[in-house]
Every structure is written in C-alpha cells, then in structure tokens.
C-alpha cells in the first residue's frame, strides 16, 4: 500500500488470529502479503497446484517489503504451506478464499471448510462477483430462521455458516488499491461485518473497507465500472472516438476528478451554493438526454468486441511488466495524493490553494 | 494548470492572435486567465452584465499568477473590456463563446458574430452540451455542399461559418483539469480542428486537446460521467449503498485507476498476456449480467432525486470555499502524478517499482 515500511513502534495487530487462505493466484498472493506485512497473524495457505512452494517462493517476494524473507517466515511457522484443505483449516480463526470464479468451486469449498473449522471461524470470500448467499445456497434448503425441530447437524452447520460468510472484495491491483467492499448476505450477522471492518482497519495498510448494504451483481465498484465501460464500447462502436481517445478523455477528466471526490460530492460542487439540487435543476435536462441516448450493446454481439480489442491492442500492444510497473507507480502516487488531501482537509494549511 | 510559473525562456505563443471571449462566467474567466497567462495573444471580452469591469477585477486575479496585474493588462491594451459584441469582434482572429447554455442564445450570438468578424475568423464554443451543428442550424436551410447559383450573401456566410465552428469543451474546474474536447460538426473543416488543437498544445498549459470524431449528446466525458451517475443514483435509490459510501468506493477504486489509465488500457491489463480479448473472455459473463441488471431511473421521477440530494447534503453540507480549495489542491496533485507517470513511461527509472 502507501508505504512499504511497517509503522514503527506499535505492535502489529491480530497476534491471536490464524488466517487460512484458499487459492493462491494473483489476488491470493496479494492478500497473503498483506496479512504477513501488516498483521502478526499466523497464516496457512492451500492451493491444489503441485508447485505451490516454488510459486510462493517466486511470487510472494514481489509483494513483500525487501526486509522480509519467505524462507524465514516458513521456518518460524508464521507461514504454513499446507498439503490439504483439511490441514490448512485445522487451526483457522478466519478462512479467506480467492479460488476460481465459479459457483461450483465456491460451494464445494465451503462444504468442506465448514466440516473442518471451528463453528466460530470467520468466513470471507474475495470473489469479484458471486454473492455470499449464492455460495452457500446449496447447503440446505431449510431457512435458518425456521429450523425444523430437532434440527439436523447439517442444518445447524449451514445456518451457522450463512451467518458467518461475507464478501471481502478487493480492487485490482489489491496491494495498492485501497478499496475493500464488504458485502454481507441477508443472513450474515452484523457482528461478522464489524469484525471484518475492524480487522482491515487495524492493519493500517491504507486499505479502506466499505460496507455494501445489499448484494447486487458486481457489488458497487465493478458495477459502476462495467456500466461506464459499456458506454465507452458503444462510443467506439459508433465511431465517436477511438479506444485510445476515450482512455485519454477519461484520464484527463473523470479519473482525477473521482480520485479526489466521488460523483455525488463532485456534482454537489457543480450546483454551487445550491449543491446537488442545484446541479440537477440546471443540468438535469442534458443528463436525461444522455440517458435516453445511451448505448445498449450486449455481450452476445461480437462486432463491437472485435473493434475495441483491435483498437486497444493496436494502441498499447499487450501489457508488459514495464507497463505494470509504471501503472503501479502512478497508482501509488494518486493514493498518496488522496492521503495528503485528507490530511489537508482535516488540519488545513500546507497546500497552496489559488 | 500544473504550474503557475510560465515557462522560462521561450516566448509565449500566439502573438498574432486576437481572441474575443463572449460570456465571462466561471468558464469564461478561467479561459481568460488561460489565454492571458500562457499566450501573448490580445484578448477582448464581452458580457452584457453591467458590472463587467468590477467582476473581472474581482474574479480574474484568483486564476492568474500573482505576478500579473489586471489593471496593467488593461492599460497596455493586452486585455480589452468591450461595451458591445460588435466592438469585441472587430479585430478578432478567434471568437470563443461560453455564454448561457441554451440554443437560442448560441444561435443569436453567432448570427451577430459572423456579421462582425473577418470570414477567416476561427469560431469556438465552450458549451458543455450543444453541438456545433445545432448552434448554426438556424442560419440557412441550404446545405453548403449544394449552394444555389448564384448563392446569396447569407448562404455564403452561413456555409463559411459552419466550416469554422467547433466545440472546445473544457472540464470543470477548467484551470486545472487537462481535458479539452474538440468536437467538430460534420461541416467543420479538418483545418479548423487542427488549428484549435495546435493552438492549445502550443500554450504548454498542461491542457490536453482531444478530438472527438462525431457529435453526440454530452460529447464523451460528460456522457460517460452521466451514465455512471445514473447507476450510482439507482444504487442509492435501491438502498445498496448510500451516496457517501458510493463516493468512497469510487474514490478508493475507479478514480485512481482511471487517473492512471482509461478503461480500455486498464481492462487490457485485466486480461494478462491475452490483453482485452482475454479480459472479455474471462469476465464477459459477469459484465453482461451487470448490463442486464442496470438501473433505468429517469429524470421525470423525483423520488430518487430527493433521496440522493438528501444523502449528499447530509454527508457534506453545501460546498464551501475551503472545500473547493481542498478539491483543487488534490486535483493539481493528481495531474502532477500523471505528468510524472508520463515522464517515467518515456524515460524509465526514477520511480520505485513496488
């Protein structure tokens, strides 16, 4: 996140937690580095890939502060590479999964996990799109508010798991982007949401957990992004501007704007001393015209896809390691600018206004 | 823009230009400061408000480098405050209007302007939404490709004006945001688009003129913004998240991301070594689900408006001068981070990788 250095004097939090990470792809390794760097929790990891140890040795150091040695973490028992899901779960106080994005995998994983872990274990999924309620809907058809008497062991286990599972959705690249969307299902208890929020806040990694009140496709960030992306693809398809030109437009306008304040706060500025109401009164007609005129391309149609892929690849080529390095350096600078902005907003002064 | 200092040694460009600005609201004054600071063009301004001189004296210094004195600019004839549109237009090589956002005003203004200016004068409108073709459609019904013979003076004038008018759309706040959307009508000549592009590029103010190929409601930046805003309002209306929470989500994710790279380049990263095609193949189904589920609120409905206005006002109050100062300081920092990112991308090195 914002800094590779761990805060000086205060001890790292969560010494009593034992986190089990399931699935060590890009998101999994990024979370692994986060827990290892900013907490003192014990971490166990499980991934069925046969080269798990080599993979962790190769990729994890890219996300860790240079002072931290992976082999030492393993030898002191801070990091445990496990050969089975059961072994990984045995001591878990938190299980966080970031495995393949399909419902079948999630459901099968949770069915096993809840047999292995204590009934108080926190259950987190870092899926980018499969709601918590869907990940457990296979477990039992009995609504946990109306358990039959006497309830079966399976019913009790399912009901308890439903109350403990929530989504912890990061934003790519997760080691830099501050967002963590916490999305409970209708069954998740408020205590579980609070626990996840306080867990990530205590890390002081710069991550910002934000609770989403209801499940919906794409949660919030991806949902807004996909909807803007649809219109961007429509504009390319109609020849209004090229993919590269649209990227430049966004980078020169909406990106900086929304890095500093979201749409509601910014449009509140747009209405002057009448705030957002003034903005809607003044510009509402133009906004309505755009809404009526919005593109309606669908994923079933390949013509626009070929066009946007061709233009994007022609403009940038395929992403290189150097491209990612430049992107990440830039993202860090913007997050740092946000932190400075917050400091100025809290304490005033320091930054030239004009 | 990025810097208050004017570049050291090279002389400021556009000494031969005489720019007439019509309409001295917030956008007009911002452009006035831009032309005065970064070019050596002569500037004439016209606005029917009776207190034009006091207004300029009060507001313009807020946008100018502190070394520049408004009274001196006036006394040396660099800045002319004009009592009539005709007077303002007499010597113009460029007329730029940023008057009220209604078609009637635009059409009436251009009807007069083209009677006063030379037939080579460049015509720019800084409207946020009224396309160039609409601003001149009243002038003559004769298509300029099929002038009757002998053509009338009005026909010739209308045809010539249509070829010279294009949109120069800034993004608020225009003295900081780099974007300038250049939007020609189907009649505008490529030479006029090139001239506007080279004019603003030569200023070295940090502004980035981007040519949009076809007129559409909201051009590109506002169009994308309004469409994301619709979904944001829908999510508030459905209780998925509050206005403030959605702002925080955007600020912690999409803002920084799009400040560094637009949607096409960023989603190209998302597909790894298969680029945007890989991204669409992997995530297309989730995207399609969001598209099908997107909100369809309209401007005719007041219920959602009351909700978003109430939540926004409760979260932030009405915008204060201090809020704007903090916003502008932050926006400048992000634009600076973009410039640094470009420097790194061009020359490599300098910036730590992770």
**Residue B262 and residue B198 in contact, taking contact as beta carbons nearer than 8 Å:** no
Tell me, yes or no, whether B104 and B203 share the same domain: yes
Range of the domain at B274: 221-316
B262, B276, B329 ranked by CB distance to A246: nearest: B262
Q: Which residues pair with B91 in a beta bridge?
A: none
Within 8 A of A175 by CB-CB distance, chain B residues are 354
Are the Cβ atoms of B213 and A239 closer than 8 angstroms? yes
Nearest chain A residue to B131 by CA distance is A286
CATH of the domain at B128: 3.40.50.720
* Nearest residue to B202 (alpha-carbon basis) of B35, B29, B19: B35
Q: Which pLDDT score, from 0 to 100, does residue A139 have?
A: 87
d(CA B270, CA B274): 9
Integer Cα distance of A25 and B135 in angstroms? 55
Please say if the pLDDT value at position B147 is more than 80. no
Q: Give the span between the Cα atoms of A335 and A176, in whole angstroms.
A: 8
Which of B218, B240, B258 is a domain's end point?
Answer: B218
Name the β-bridge partners of B80: B44
Spatial contact of B135 and B154, defined as CB atoms under 8 Å apart: no
Residues of B in contact with A177 (CB under 8 A): 252-253, 256-257
Average pLDDT over residues B218-229: 98
Same domain, B151 and B276: no
Q: Which CATH number is A258's domain given?
A: 1.10.1040.10
Q: Kindly determine whether residue B353 and residue A259, on different chains, have CB atoms separated by under 8 Å.
A: no
Q: Write down which residue in A218, A236, A257 finishes a domain.
A: A218
Residues 6+ apart with CB under 8 A from B234: B294, B295, B296, B297, B304
Report the C-alpha gap between A267 and A275 in whole angstroms.
Answer: 8
Indicate the residue of B222, B248, B341 with minimum beta-carbon distance to A210: B248
**Nearest alpha-carbon partner for B95 in B2, B7, B179, B18:** B18
Domain total for chain B? 2
Q: Are residues A117 and A239 in the same domain?
A: no
Confidence bin at A351 (pLDDT 50/70/90):
very low
Number of H helices, E strands in chain B: 15, 8
Instruction: From B254, B236, B233, select the one nearest A226 (Cα to Cα).
Output: B254
Residue A314 phi, psi dihedral angles, 5° rounding:
-65, -40
Please indicate, yes or no, whether residues B73 and B213 belong to a single structural domain of this protein.
yes
Beta-carbon separation of A341 and B326 below 8 A? yes
Judge if B172 and B239 occupy the same domain.
no
Which residue, among B174, B312, B336, would best test binding to A if mutated, counting the most A CBs under 10 Å from its CB?
B312
Nearest-by-CA chain B residue for A170: B253
**Out of A119-128, A189-198, B6-15, B44-53, which region has the weakest mean confidence (pLDDT)?**
B6-15
Do B227 and A128 count as a contact with CB atoms less than 8 A apart?
no
Which is more confident, A119 or B149? A119
pLDDT at B52 over 80: yes
**Kind of pairing between the strands at B79-81 and B42-46:** parallel
Q: How far is CA B47 from CA A125, A270, B19, B111, in A?
A: 59, 22, 14, 16
User: Does a structural domain hold residue B193?
Assistant: yes
State the count of interchain CB pairs (< 8 A) between A and B.
Answer: 424
Give chain B positions within 8 Å (CB) of A129: 286, 289
CA A350/CA A6 separation, integer angstroms: 25
Longest Cα–Cα distance of chain A, Å, equals 71
The token duo for B41 is 């063009």
pLDDT of B353 > 50? The answer is no
Strand, coil or helix: A94:
strand
The shortest C-alpha distance from A123 to chain B (Å) reads 22
Choosing from A218, A247, A274, the residue where a domain stops is A218
Residue recorded with tokens 């702002």: B247
What SS3 state is found at A166?
A: strand
Range A94-122 average pLDDT: 96
- Cβ atoms < 10 Å from Cβ of A8: 5
**Least CA distance to A337: which residue of chain B?**
B333
CA angle B322, B21, B92 (to 5 degrees): 155
Task: Return the percentage of chain A with pLDDT > 90, whole number.
Answer: 83
Q: What is the pTM of this model?
A: 0.92
Q: Please judge whether A257 and B232 are an interchain contact, meaning their C-beta atoms are less than 8 angstroms apart.
A: no
- A-chain CB neighbours of B179 within 8 Å are 249, 252-253
Structure tokens at A182: 């916490």
Is the predicted pLDDT of residue A353 greater than 50, yes or no?
no
Predicted pLDDT at B85: 98
Residue A344 within a domain: no
Residues B225 and B207 in one domain: no
Res. B144 pLDDT band, cuts 50 70 90: low
Q: Are residues B160 and B244 in the same domain?
A: no
Contacts of A139 (CB under 8 A, 6+ apart): A107, A110, A111, A154, A157, A158, A161, A162
- B328 in any annotated domain: no
Would you give the DSSP letter of residue A45? E
Co-location of B295 and B248 in the same domain: yes
Domain assignment present for residue A26? The answer is yes
Q: Report residue B349 as tokens.
A: 């090195």
**Residue of A63, A245, A258 with shortest CB distance to B250:** A258
**Residues B122, B183: one domain?**
yes
The percentage of residues in chain B with a pLDDT greater than 70, rounded to a whole number, is: 93
Measured CA to CA, the distance from residue B339 to residue B343 in angstroms comes to 6
Indicate the angle between helix axes B153-164 and B103-116, nearest 10 degrees: 110
The ipTM estimated for the assembled molecules is: 0.93
Of A252, A273, A345, nearest to B318 by CB-CB distance is: A273
CA–CA distances in Å: residue B146 to residues A171, B136, B166:
55, 17, 21
Kindly report the nearest CA distance between residue B322 and chain A, in angstroms: 8
In which band, very low, low, confident or very high, does the pLDDT at B352 lie, cut at 50, 70 and 90? very low
In terms of domains, do A155 and A283 share one?
no
Segment B125-135 mean pLDDT: 94
How close, in Å, is residue A175 to chain B by CA atoms? 9
Q: Is B233 domain-assigned?
A: yes
Q: Is residue A264 part of a domain?
A: yes
B146 and B283 housed in the same domain = no
Q: Is residue A120 part of a domain?
A: yes
Chain B nearest-CA distance from A335, in A, is 7
| Domain assignment of residue B99, yes or no | yes
Q: What is the mean pLDDT of residues B197-202?
A: 98
Residues B22 and B164 in one domain: yes
């Amino acid at each position: 996140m914002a800094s590779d250095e761990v805060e000086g004097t205060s001890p790292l939090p969560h010494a009593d937690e034992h986190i089990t990470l399931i699935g060590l792809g890009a998101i999994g390794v990024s979370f692994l580095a986060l827990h290892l760097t900013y907490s003192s929790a014990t971490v166990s990891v499980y991934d069925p890939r046969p080269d798990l140890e080599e993979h962790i040795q190769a990729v994890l150091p890219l996300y860790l502060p240079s002072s931290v040695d992976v082999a030492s973490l393993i030898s002191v028992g801070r990091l445990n590479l496990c050969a089975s899901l059961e072994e990984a779960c045995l001591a878990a106080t938190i299980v966080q999964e970031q495995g393949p994005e399909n419902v079948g995998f999630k459901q099968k994983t949770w069915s096993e996990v809840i047999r292995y872990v204590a009934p108080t274990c926190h259950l987190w999924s870092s899926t980018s799109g499969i709601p918590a309620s869907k990940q457990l809907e296979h477990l039992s058809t009995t609504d946990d508010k109306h358990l039959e008497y006497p309830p079966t062991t399976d019913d009790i286990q399912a009901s308890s798991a439903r109350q403990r599972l929530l989504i912890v959705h990061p934003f790519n690249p997760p080691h830099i982007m501050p967002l963590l969307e916490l999305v409970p299902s209708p069954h998740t208890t408020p205590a579980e949401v609070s626990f996840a929020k306080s867990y990530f806040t205590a890390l002081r990694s710069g991550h910002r957990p934000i609770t989403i009140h209801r499940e919906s496709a794409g949660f919030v960030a991806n949902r807004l992004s996909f909807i803007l992306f649809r219109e961007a693809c429509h504009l390319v398809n109609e020849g209004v501007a090229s993919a590269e030109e649209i990227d430049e437009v966004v980078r020169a306008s909406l990106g900086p704007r929304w890095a500093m304040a979201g749409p509601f706060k910014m449009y509140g500025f747009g209405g002057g001393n009448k705030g957002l109401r003034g903005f809607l009164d003044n510009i509402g007609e133009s906004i309505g015209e755009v809404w009526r005129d919005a593109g309606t391309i669908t994923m079933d149609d390949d013509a626009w896809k070929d066009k946007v892929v061709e233009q994007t690849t022609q403009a940038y080529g395929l992403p290189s390691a150097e491209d990612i390095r430049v992107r990440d350096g830039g993202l860090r600078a913007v997050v740092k600018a946000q932190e400075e902005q917050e400091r100025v907003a809290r304490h005033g002064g320091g930054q030239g206004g004009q």
